[in-house]
Amino acid sequence: MSKLFTPLELRGVTLANRIVVSPMCQYSAVRGEATDWHMIHLGHLAFSGAAMLCIEATAVEPDGRITPGDLGLWDDVTEAALEPVIAAIRRYSPIRIAMQISHAGRKASSHVPWEGGQLISVADGGWLPHAPSDLPHKDDETPPLALDTAGLNRVRNAFAATARRAARLGIDALEIHAAHGYLLHQFLSPIANQRSDEYGGSRENRMRFPLEVFDAVRAQFPRDRPIGVRVSATDWVDGGWTPEDTIVFAQALKTRGVDWIDVSSGGVSPLQKIPLEPGYQVPFARKVKQETGVNTIAVGLITDALQADQILETGDADMIAMARAMLYDPRWPWHAAAQLGASVNAPPQYWRSQPREHKTLFGETTLGQR
Residue 123 corresponds to which amino acid?
Answer: A
Of the candidates 220, 93, 105, 223, the one whose C-alpha atom is nearest the C-alpha of residue 166 is 220
Of the candidates 36, 16, 18, the one whose C-alpha atom is nearest the C-alpha of residue 28 is 36
3-state secondary structure of 59: strand
Of the candidates 186, 188, 206, the one whose C-alpha atom is nearest the C-alpha of residue 196 is 206
Of the candidates 29, 37, 35, the one whose C-alpha atom is nearest the C-alpha of residue 66 is 29
The answer to whether the beta carbons of residues 323 and 299 sit under 8 Å apart is: yes
- Cβ burial of 156 (10 Å; 0-12, 13-18, 19+) is middle
The answer to whether the beta carbons of residues 60 and 32 sit under 8 Å apart is: no
CA 241 to chain centre: 19
- Cβ burial of 365 (10 Å; 0-12, 13-18, 19+) is exposed
Distances (CA, A) of 158 to 14, 92, 114, 194: 28, 31, 29, 23
Beta strands 13-15 and 8-10, pairing class:
antiparallel
Instruction: Print burial letters for 338-357: b (CB count within 10 Å at least 16), e (below 16).
Output: bebebbbbbeeeeeeebeee
Given 27, 92, 182, 280, the catalytic residue:
182
Question: Is 350 assigned a catalytic role?
Answer: no
- What residues act catalytically? 182
